[in-house]
Amino acid sequence: MKIPEWLRDMSAKVAQGANLIPSEQDNLLARQKAYAERRTNVYDRKTSLEDDVRKLEGKLLKLDARRQSEHGILQRATVKEMQAVGVQLKGKEQQLNQAITDIADLDTLIGNLDQLLSGQPVRAEDWDEVGVDMEDLLQDAAEAAKAREQVQGLAGRDQRDLAGEVNVDELLGEIRGPARTVDADTDQLLKRAKLRHSPEPEA
């Protein structure tokens, strides 16, 4: 990340052991507050995206159950519907990953500003960990545009671009998770219990 000039000057000043003047402190506090508000908004969006993912996963599982009971045209139609849900899921995954990255960046920013405010220098590599543009974070218009873009879909990527990348059966495997394995002793106990409860053969 490219450090803005105003921040570079303050960082250098603190690194040299000088105190920030009140106007510089006020500037940092205002920006820190803005980043904290932005983090709250991104976290809310992340929570909302997680809910969307759960709903879409549930929908995909129901469609899969329907697919297994259908044949011919209806089965093909259900497969097509599953593909559309899979594309939506992949889009939500991209947005979720971006939200997680943004939260991490904002956490780093807020922590770095806190260090400066307490008179502790921040190393250049600590700024490099931040991938977001600090100035863009404070521009309302840019934020509104970003939010709209993410709500509408795949942050600039057409859903049709994902259609060929979505493997519905792989997605279903991820949703269901790994098959549970039963150890040999438990397997024997289950078999004995099943034999005890099976009906006696008629004479």
Three-state SS string over 22-66 comes to HHHHHHHHHHHHHHHHHHHHHHHHHHHHHHHHHHHHHHHHHHHHH
SS3 157: strand
What are 15-70's pLDDT values in tens digits?
Answer: 888 888 888 888 889 988 998 999 999 999 999 999 999 999 999 999 999 999 98
Q: Is the pTM of this model over 0.85?
A: no
Residue in 171, 153, 178 with CA at minimum distance from that of residue 79: 171
Q: What is the mean pLDDT of residues 91-102?
A: 91
For the chain, what are the domain ranges?
5-197
What are 134-188's pLDDT values in tens digits?
Answer: 555 545 435 544 554 554 554 444 555 555 567 888 888 888 877 666 566 666 6
